[in-house]
Structure 1
Amino acid sequence: MLRKTQIALALGMAWGLNPHAALAQQTPATANDVTQLKEITVTSTRTERSVDRVPNTVTVTSAAKMQQDGARDIKDIFNNEIDVSVRAAPTRFTAAGSATGRAGNEGINIRGLEGNQVLMMVDGVRVPNSFSFGAFATGRGDFLEIDGIKAVEVLRGPTSTQFGSDGLAGAVSFRTLDPSDLLKPGQSFGGFARSGYASIDRSWASTLGLAGKSGQWQGLLLGSYRKGHEVENKADNDAPNITRTKPNPADYDNQYVLGKALFAIDGTQTLGASVELQKRKQTTDVLSGRSVPPLVSTSTLDLDARDQTERNKLSLEHRFKDLNGSWIQRAETQVYWQDAKVRQFSAEDRNTAADRTRDNSYNTKVIGLSTQMESNVSGALDQRLSYGFDWSRSEVTGVRDGTVAPFGETFPTKPFPDTTYTIAGAFVQDEIETGAVSIIPGLRFDHYKLAPSASGYIGGAVATLSDQAVTPRLGVVWQLTPGFTPYGQVAKGFRAPTPDQVNNGFTNLASGYTSIGNAKLKAERADSVEIGFRGKVDGFRYSVAAFDNSYKDFISQQVMSGSGTATDPMIFQYINLAKAQIRGAEARAEWQIDQQWQANAGIAYTKGDSEVGGVKTPLDTINPVKLVAGLRYDTANWGARLNVQHHQRKDADRIAPAATPQFAPGAYTVVDLGASWKPMANLTITANLNNLLDAKYWRWSDVRGLADNSTVKDAYTAPGRTAQVSVRYDF
């Protein structure tokens, strides 16, 4: 770990990655275009505001930047972020025991918290929660296809004042393309075609986007298809059994459709409709699940898996904008429906014991309504009031099925009862502008209720849970000079319990354990403080931030009683147990050297501990210090990029103690190269060579939890040298 003096020096001297602009056009842009366009966030305050005038840290990544980097998924999008990561373990799951890698891109980690503690949204609609039960594990990243995304915003710190439950660590907002993003000025019809290949998983991807306008109508239709295989690593053991370290063979394909239609009623009102359809399928030959001779009755001879993820969404919108309106200048209302499904099937051929299958599913169906209004108030102080409410009702279900059920169980069974989860919230925010100072107070009230159904559930009694939360927020931005703008924010957040935490029932008396629900679970809570400063002097931009986040009532599954025998089983239950504190500092900057050259770099340091009964334990979800630096050269027709990442080693004293010590990967440095060429005005060719030096390394986010004495560590290595190329034509 870096010494404090080293951290202070690095923060004082660092150049950090500049938030990438949310480009108005989907057409790939040069670095100069990105620098000159104004960077706008709509997530930090739920209103349009420059990222330089918000009281916390927000970064915006454009579609152009994602395409230049050859991003395939959300793990690639955040590869160069200094404080954001995505966990994706290798696919080494079993039929009925381990879930390692089954969840794919599990979720997003922001400053040390991840999973369902990070709010993820697509056009304001929440991405379904992740879920885990034994060998059944669902992630969140595979619900997304980035080819339809025009910008990704990452908001650090609690977001409950803006969006209600879930955003303890922050929020990630994905915004999809609009017709205007594909139409050039003066066009009534246009679009693009793009195709690319990535050697990292031997995948091909093709996208076609069309947009048009006529009179009061605008429309967009985009289709994307991606087909690939397992992600490569740096291992060389290809044995067809549990000693294998090379990736298990896999085949996947992803189909995605985005459609939008807009109708301008008049100069102030617009009606809109959008639809998203996504289906991802993957088959895996789990060679690492096979047993090594000598065989016994229950030895596994073969294990095959078929997984499918679907997300279908329909939304209707009404937008009003009249800057001369007497009271309301802007209003937006959205009604939406979303149906998301995960199904995981495994077939296991065993030696002489009965062959068995597992067929598990997790579904989330939601309907919702969101409305927001803005009013500008002139007087001694200029103010922009924003206020509104959000309401959603989700139907969450899960089923475990298959053949040869565990002892004492029968299939099908439900890991938790079918649950209706309703959340309603109202908020108000005031953006007060007084000279060089912006004061942004906000307040929100939320009520949530989990109402389970006992129908078909045999896990025991079911309990209804309801509660409410009040979450204030206060931010201040002082534009002292263009080169120095200090800011600060104090915010509270909460995350309501999930259906499987409130009610879960599973009994295995032969193994001496059972689990029960808890109708008295409280929401997890967050208290956050962030202070920092940023500025711009000529072509140099920088920002420095420090944060202190405190959490309480963390939900954890614990043994409440029992000795572990059939007559006195151990009783597991989710309870509010731990509290935690995460502190850190970050620095970012960018230097536009001249019209062609640009340099950037950044560093992030985070430290966190959980506490139970006065005993502190390091949080394993905290990533080691990360330093990034980049240099790029761009002209009208071609450009080149060099990016370097350095990750500090994970110190053993910052890993939670365990019966078997965890593997602590060492430090590593990765160098990436990229280039783009425009042989003609509408044609762009992009190429990337990642891990140029073919370094062998382990990402802590992917490897944590692996025992230090494991004989298959190489299975967790990151990919070696890989290449990516794409061709895009705009018309």
Structure 2
Amino acid sequence: MSNISKRFWLGCAAVGALNASMMTSAAAQEADQQAPIELKPIVVEGAKKTGIDTPTVLTERVTRADLQERQVDRIEDIGRLDPGINYNRTSDSINIRGLGDNRVLTTIDGIRVPWLDDGARGVKGGISSIDFDTLSTLDIIQGADSSLFGSGALGGVISLRTLNPEDLLTEGKNWGSLTKGSYDSADRSWNINQALAARANNTYVLFQGGYRAGKERENMGDIGGFGVTRTEKNLAEYDQNNLLFKLHQHVDGGHRFGFTAERFDLDRDIHKLDASSFPMDGPRATYWPGTYWETKTRKRERISATYDYDGTGDAWLDQASAILYWQRLTQGDDISAIRRTYPVGNYRRDNTMEETDVGINATGLKAVELGAYSHTFKFGIDGYLSTVKQKALGEDNCIGPNDPRCAFLHTNQAEMPEVEGGTLGLFVEDQIALYDDRLRITPGLRFDWYERNPQKTPLFEENPNFRGYPADSSDSRFSPKLRAEWDATENVVLYAQWAQAFRAPSSTELYMTYGGPGTYLNIGNPDLKPETSNGFDIGAKFGDDRFGGSVSIYNNYYKNFIDNVSVTAAEAGVPPGMFPMGITRYVNRAHVQIYGAEAKAHYAFSNGWKTWGGIAFAQGKDTDADVYLNSIPALKGIVGVGYATETWGTDFSMTAAAARNKVENPSSDYNKTPGYTLFDVTGWWEPEQLKGMRIQAGVYNIFDRKYWNALDIPDSGSVPKDYFTEPGRTFKISMTQRF
């Protein structure tokens, strides 16, 4: 642990101790009852079912209280919220309705979080660059909402909102704080998180910081030692820290100006015991056992300025929101080892991929009466300029750059040129209220344009496959939407939606070139077309907080689905025989279909008992090749029962998943997984004598069941399947103190 991390931890501990010492006086001075930490969406008068920050009918809003109740304090836990939401640890992405990676859009405070993939060296992901303890709400949009979101929202959207100072400052308070500490046995990690907020007149400020340290995530593998047969997790240690600062200035007339600075940093050191003798054990092993180390880094930084407006009276806009931002996401994979086969000696690879974005998002809302109908117009613009960089540095003991025995070793080069890009989106939708607002028709339209321009990159010219710079890529797309909602009764809403969506190809898919003559080749395709989709949803939402739920059926058709497949030398445009180990290339699959159904329900009894449940089913395939997709999760359901009083409560839940046997390669069992049933129990206590304190604990996989999350298993590889098993019985405990 670095000295900075130690000082940070000591500082957080000191602040927490100070909070505890002030508890008695704070209780005497603050007579008002503190409300749960939850952002309140602004809803325009006369437009009760819409607003800039109000979820659509396809959205599930998760508050900070919900995250706390389910002990969801990192991305790996998100599957506890909904059986249709899954985290793919291998690709570091969220999977919704059978799609993951960059086909599910993630935003934080309205800013896109990139999903990066260097396509060759294992630098992949982006969603885990967010500390969940900074969140106030999490909106899950299942299915595309084309008029509001642009490229990448094919499967759905995860919209994250960080804490605002107003969330900690209830009416009448000038300061507030939130302190949290936790321990998770799944990776033996401990965490401390501290948020402080204060205000002076109409000026609000928030400071938040968090630190987490842990080891490798447990699994159920039981083969240790060195080599490719190892199924136990590789030994690892990691440090994660984040800092968040916000300043809000409220101005009379419904205006709020803001400034935000955020920094997230994750460093994970891994002792790669399974790779130490790759590709074979014994005296011909490639590396000396125990010398192979890998350091994975992930850093996200952003600065943003915001403006929010809540109109009053005859203002020409009812609501408006704008954000101007700079954001940079950097991912690295640094490998060091000692080779025992030629070239003998030190081996080093430092692989990095980075995206920097500068952009603006602006949204407005206006409710008007036109003729006999009420119209609520929502419109906006979002655009950003991006720069994507990739490089692979390192060292080895080859005899010159043309040493034929080093054909597999590619270093001090780039697999793709630096790419500068521009993206622009314009959207508008109109919610038309009919029959006293019982029927609402919402047409919407979005226009998206993108361009990718390869730049002169000296490291790319060092690539052995360099044959000049590839062409620019540019395209545009109109994405319409039509949704109908009907209040069948006071608490039952029936809906149907048709929406189109699209995804622009990534810089990796367009321009990545990896491999070498005499071995293999993996190449991008600058002629790729953007993916497009037609999605159909029908369903119902019913009830309230006491008794309610939802059911939905969807069917999505995708065109030009981007995939990496084997091609011939002629198709790749290279001389025959130059790459005897095979050639792969990114291509557009013509037609893919994914359909499924989801249902959820909850009921709260008057005596403190409650129950809830949900189920999600999906099926998908390439309809031309009649091949199933490995991105489709197994049928999954969650059922729970709980009891709560004013000061304590407990929940018991069961998660069950069916076997997954419909995979891309039916002759192989590698991607097939058996069904499983898990049982979890959690409990919480808020002592009356210690105002604002909450102690919570949970035991997960009580019966120590061996199981797999099918999405974690890569499409192919030499790693034994048991390496991807989930942890056995684990526990988590946390304490939160709020003033």
Normalised to the residue count of structure 1, the TM-score between the two structures is 0.88
**Stretch moving more, 372-381 or 635-644:** 372-381
- 2:560 — aligned with what? 553
Residue 527 of structure 1 contacts residue 551 of structure 1 at CA under 8 Å; is this kept in 2?
yes
Q: 1:715 aligns with which of 693, 713, 723?
A: 723
Q: CA deviation digits over 1:231-256, x for unaligned, max 9?
A: 11122222233222211110001110
The answer to whether structure 1 residue 290 and structure 2 residue 276 are counterparts is yes
CA distance in 2 between counterparts of 1:134 and 1:242 reads 20
Q: 1:278 is aligned with what amino acid?
A: F
Q: 2:296 is aligned with what amino acid?
A: D
Q: How does 1:156-235 map to 2 (within 5 A)?
A: 156-235=142-221
Residue 70 of structure 2 contacts residue 81 of structure 2 at CA under 8 Å; is this kept in 1?
no
- 1:637 — aligned with what? 647
SS of corresponding position for 1:714: helix
Q: How does 1:38-57 map to 2 (within 5 A)?
A: 47-48=51-52, 54-56=56-58
**Stretch moving more, 243-252 or 157-166:** 157-166
Residue 624 of structure 1 contacts residue 650 of structure 1 at CA under 8 Å; is this kept in 2?
yes
Q: 1:690 aligns with which of 700, 717, 732?
A: 700
Q: How does 1:424-443 map to 2 (within 5 A)?
A: 424-434=424-434, 435=436, 436-443=438-445
Q: How does 1:556-595 map to 2 (within 5 A)?
A: 556-558=563-565, 559-562=567-570, 565-566=577-578, 572-595=584-607
Q: How does 1:670-689 map to 2 (within 5 A)?
A: 670-679=678-687, 680-689=690-699
Aligned pair in 2 of structure 1 residues 485, 367: CA closer, same or farther (>3 Å)?
A: same
Q: 2:152 is aligned with what amino acid?
A: D
Residue 553 of structure 2 contacts residue 597 of structure 2 at CA under 8 Å; is this kept in 1?
yes
In the TM superposition, residue 80 of structure 1 has moved relative to its aligned partner by 3.9
- 1:539 — aligned with what? 546
The answer to whether structure 1 residue 402 and structure 2 residue 419 are counterparts is no
Q: How does 1:347-496 map to 2 (within 5 A)?
A: 347-353=336-342, 354=344, 355-379=346-370, 380-404=372-396, 406-407=406-407, 411-434=411-434, 435=436, 436-456=438-458, 457-458=460-461, 459-460=466-467, 461-496=469-504
Residue 530 of structure 2 contacts residue 560 of structure 2 at CA under 8 Å; is this kept in 1?
yes
Residue 331 of structure 2 contacts residue 353 of structure 2 at CA under 8 Å; is this kept in 1?
yes
Q: CA deviation digits over 1:257-301, x for unaligned, max 9?
A: 111001112232111001111111110111111226421163442
The answer to whether structure 1 residue 127 and structure 2 residue 113 are counterparts is yes
Give the gaps of 5 or more residues in structure 1: 1-24, 90-102
Q: 2:547 is aligned with what amino acid?
A: F
In the TM superposition, residue 578 of structure 1 has moved relative to its aligned partner by 3.5
Residue 555 of structure 1 contacts residue 578 of structure 1 at CA under 8 Å; is this kept in 2?
no
CA distance in 1 between counterparts of 2:147 and 2:631 reads 25
Q: CA deviation digits over 1:505-559, x for unaligned, max 9?
A: 3341111x44554332210001000001121279321211100000010112341
Q: 1:647 aligns with which of 637, 649, 657?
A: 657
SS of corresponding position for 1:81: coil
Residue 279 of structure 1 contacts residue 308 of structure 1 at CA under 8 Å; is this kept in 2?
yes
- 2:60 — aligned with what? 59
Residue 41 of structure 1 contacts residue 153 of structure 1 at CA under 8 Å; is this kept in 2?
no
Aligned pair in 2 of structure 1 residues 197, 209: CA closer, same or farther (>3 Å)?
A: same
SS of corresponding position for 1:502: helix
In the TM superposition, residue 71 of structure 1 has moved relative to its aligned partner by 2.6
In the TM superposition, residue 385 of structure 1 has moved relative to its aligned partner by 0.8
The answer to whether structure 1 residue 597 and structure 2 residue 604 are counterparts is no
Aligned pair in 2 of structure 1 residues 150, 352: CA closer, same or farther (>3 Å)?
A: same
- 2:80 — aligned with what? 79
CA distance in 1 between counterparts of 2:598 and 2:568 reads 40
Q: How does 1:335-346 map to 2 (within 5 A)?
A: 335-346=324-335
Residue 149 of structure 1 contacts residue 176 of structure 1 at CA under 8 Å; is this kept in 2?
yes
In the TM superposition, residue 438 of structure 1 has moved relative to its aligned partner by 1.1
SS of corresponding position for 1:241: coil
Q: CA deviation digits over 1:673-702, x for unaligned, max 9?
A: 111001132211011111111111122122
Residue 341 of structure 1 contacts residue 362 of structure 1 at CA under 8 Å; is this kept in 2?
yes
Residue 119 of structure 2 contacts residue 508 of structure 2 at CA under 8 Å; is this kept in 1?
no
SS of corresponding position for 2:535: strand
In the TM superposition, residue 47 of structure 1 has moved relative to its aligned partner by 3.2
Aligned pair in 2 of structure 1 residues 245, 554: CA closer, same or farther (>3 Å)?
A: same
Aligned pair in 2 of structure 1 residues 409, 203: CA closer, same or farther (>3 Å)?
A: closer
- 1:261 — aligned with what? 247
Aligned pair in 2 of structure 1 residues 276, 46: CA closer, same or farther (>3 Å)?
A: farther
Quote the sequence identity (%): 28
Aligned pair in 2 of structure 1 residues 137, 606: CA closer, same or farther (>3 Å)?
A: same
CA distance in 2 between counterparts of 1:258 and 1:394 reads 23
Q: 1:424 is aligned with what amino acid?
A: L
Aligned pair in 2 of structure 1 residues 368, 423: CA closer, same or farther (>3 Å)?
A: same
CA distance in 2 between counterparts of 1:505 and 1:538 reads 53
CA distance in 1 between counterparts of 2:327 and 2:381 reads 19
- 2:302 — aligned with what? 313
SS of corresponding position for 1:163: coil
Q: 1:130 is aligned with what amino acid?
A: L
SS of corresponding position for 2:144: coil
Aligned pair in 2 of structure 1 residues 543, 71: CA closer, same or farther (>3 Å)?
A: closer
SS of corresponding position for 1:78: helix
**Stretch moving more, 574-583 or 520-529:** 574-583
Residue 26 of structure 1 contacts residue 181 of structure 1 at CA under 8 Å; is this kept in 2?
no
SS of corresponding position for 1:243: coil
In the TM superposition, residue 467 of structure 1 has moved relative to its aligned partner by 1.0
- 1:498 — aligned with what? 506
In the TM superposition, residue 711 of structure 1 has moved relative to its aligned partner by 8.5
Aligned pair in 2 of structure 1 residues 701, 81: CA closer, same or farther (>3 Å)?
A: same
Q: 1:657 aligns with which of 665, 668, 673?
A: 665
Residue 670 of structure 2 contacts residue 721 of structure 2 at CA under 8 Å; is this kept in 1?
no
Q: CA deviation digits over 1:75-123, x for unaligned, max 9?
A: 202334111101114xxxxxxxxxxxxx5xx100001010001111111
**Stretch moving more, 166-175 or 710-719:** 710-719
Q: 2:66 is aligned with what amino acid?
A: K
SS of corresponding position for 2:292: strand
In the TM superposition, residue 230 of structure 1 has moved relative to its aligned partner by 0.5
Q: 2:312 is aligned with what amino acid?
A: L
**Stretch moving more, 691-700 or 225-234:** 691-700
Residue 630 of structure 2 contacts residue 671 of structure 2 at CA under 8 Å; is this kept in 1?
no
SS of corresponding position for 2:66: helix
Residue 80 of structure 1 contacts residue 645 of structure 1 at CA under 8 Å; is this kept in 2?
no
CA distance in 1 between counterparts of 2:600 and 2:546 reads 14
CA distance in 2 between counterparts of 1:673 and 1:522 reads 48
Alignment RMSD, CA only?
A: 2.6
In the TM superposition, residue 27 of structure 1 has moved relative to its aligned partner by 7.6
Residue 334 of structure 2 contacts residue 350 of structure 2 at CA under 8 Å; is this kept in 1?
yes
In the TM superposition, residue 411 of structure 1 has moved relative to its aligned partner by 3.3
Q: 2:610 is aligned with what amino acid?
A: Q
Normalised to the residue count of structure 2, the TM-score between the two structures is 0.87
Q: 1:606 is aligned with what amino acid?
A: A
Q: CA deviation digits over 1:471-521, x for unaligned, max 9?
A: 01111110010243210110000000111222233341111x445543322
**Stretch moving more, 61-70 or 568-577:** 568-577
Residue 305 of structure 1 contacts residue 344 of structure 1 at CA under 8 Å; is this kept in 2?
yes
Q: 2:51 is aligned with what amino acid?
A: T
